[in-house]
Amino acid sequence: MFKITQPARSYLCRFYSSAPPKTRAQLVAELRKLSNAPIIKARQALDENNGDFDAALQWLEEDMRKSGAEKAEKIKGRATSEGLISISVLEGGLGSRIGSGSGSVRASIIELNCESDFVSRTQEFAGLAAEIAHVAAQSPVRLQQSASPFVPLSVGVLLQAPHKSGTVNSLITDLIARIGENISLRRATLLSLPQNLDSVFRVTSHLHQGRVGALDLISLKPSGSSLFKDDAFIGDLEKLERALARQTAGFMTLAIDQTQNPEADPETVLYEQPFMMLGGQDASVPVRKVLHQWQKKWGLDDISVFDFARWEVGKN
């Protein structure tokens, strides 16, 4: 007959018995980890709820929302001259590795401001800006109301947009509560496919140290769709797109073509600038000429920058 030895019996008892209750110190540590609350608040939450962990966590969340709202109200008049530009691309266009690659285009660019350069460089602030940009990229919009693929979004509406942990405004308020510094959403724009569907569209973007952002909409007219199944073509196109976005951000780019503003300084016109961001033998060649050469190389009917947005923190 099989018999469980005493050492085995002791092991099985330990294995099947429930885990020992956590100490107060462990509960406090776990509350702080989940809520980012100060240790004093975590202890208070347990005291107020007779040691019930779930109730204490809910109490902390409600307390932080309330204190955050109060703190935000007190400091809302303080200047926010620092911050970040953030970009979210959900659909990058035909053949893109971002999104479905089916041809749809959807992206956003936002500016989130704070009081100090120190806060703007923190991961928490950058994460908040990225979350808001992601929400903005999902915003519904009636494209027929705008001739441009770039549609400005209402800051007030975006602040009330739902998020998994509340609203965009509550996300901002929560961070204000933790850092004690004013934060404001200055502007947001959605990029979505325009009505002109004669071309194939793709999105490219670049952020320079978070303070300058460029979002470019590229238009192509291929002789056929088979090119977008060619890995060599896609690789070369991605290299060109990255360089165009870096060029737009790196120069004080105000227009695409000189015909848009004949009196503009050529240094501010994308097509007239030397394509320095592409590098190599084409670094001193105007962007216009490089695009024409690239078009001929791959047998396209046309490739052009259809539109772009270039934003700097604190500037229009």
Can you tell me whether residue 184 is helix, strand or coil?
strand
Last residue of a domain, one of 75, 102, 136: 75
Quick one: how many helices (H) and strands (E) in the chain? 10, 9
Residue 17, in any domain of the structure: no
pLDDT at 56: 86
pLDDT at 2 exceeding the cut of 50 = no
pTM: 0.81
Domain with residue 42: its CATH number is 1.10.8.10
Residue 207, in any domain of the structure: yes
pLDDT band at 1 (very low <50, low <70, confident <90, very high): very low
Distances (CA, A) of 212 to 200, 238, 248, 273, 282: 27, 21, 10, 18, 24
pLDDT at 11: 44
Residue 125 sits in the same domain as residue 86:
yes
Residue 96 sits in the same domain as residue 30:
no
Domain with residue 120: its CATH number is 3.30.479.20
**Residue range 231-258, pLDDT digits in tens:** 999 999 999 999 999 999 999 999 999 8
Residue 76: other Cβ atoms inside 10 A: 12
> Which tokens sit at 135?
């929400």
**Residue range 193-234, pLDDT digits in tens:** 755 567 899 999 999 999 999 999 999 998 666 888 899 999
Residue 40 sits in the same domain as residue 94:
no
Region label for 191, one of left (φ > 0), alpha (ψ between -120 and 50) or beta (otherwise) = beta
Residue 9, in any domain of the structure: no
> Residue 67: which H helix or E strand, with range?
helix 53-75
Q: Which is higher by pLDDT, 144 or 313?
A: 313
CA distance 206 to 214: 5
Residue 117, in any domain of the structure: yes
Residue 49 sits in the same domain as residue 153:
no
Residue 194 sits in the same domain as residue 276:
yes
Residue 98 sits in the same domain as residue 191:
yes
How long, in residues, is the chain? Answer: 316
Residue 154, in any domain of the structure: yes
Last residue of a domain, one of 40, 56, 75: 75
pLDDT at 9: 47
**Residue range 91-100, pLDDT digits in tens:** 999 999 999 9
Phi, psi of 97 (to 5 degrees): -80, -5
Residue 48 sits in the same domain as residue 110:
no
Residue 18, in any domain of the structure: no
User: Cβ distance 193 to 201 under 8 Å?
Assistant: yes
Which structural domain range is residue 39 located in? Answer: 23-75
- Beta partners for residue 190, in sequence order: 108, 151
pLDDT at 177: 82
Residue 121 sits in the same domain as residue 239:
yes
Residue 213 sits in the same domain as residue 99:
yes
Residue 13, in any domain of the structure: no
Q: Which is higher by pLDDT, 220 or 67?
A: 220
Residue 54 sits in the same domain as residue 88:
no
pLDDT at 222: 85
Task: Indicate the number of domains in the chain.
Answer: 2
Residue 54 sits in the same domain as residue 158:
no
Mean pLDDT of the chain: 87
Q: Which is higher by pLDDT, 36 or 199?
A: 199
Q: Which is higher by pLDDT, 24 or 255?
A: 255
Residue 12, in any domain of the structure: no
Residue 172 sits in the same domain as residue 267:
yes
Last residue of a domain, one of 75, 103, 138: 75
Least confident of 89-103, 135-149, 167-181, 269-283: 135-149
The 8-class DSSP code of residue 274 comes to B
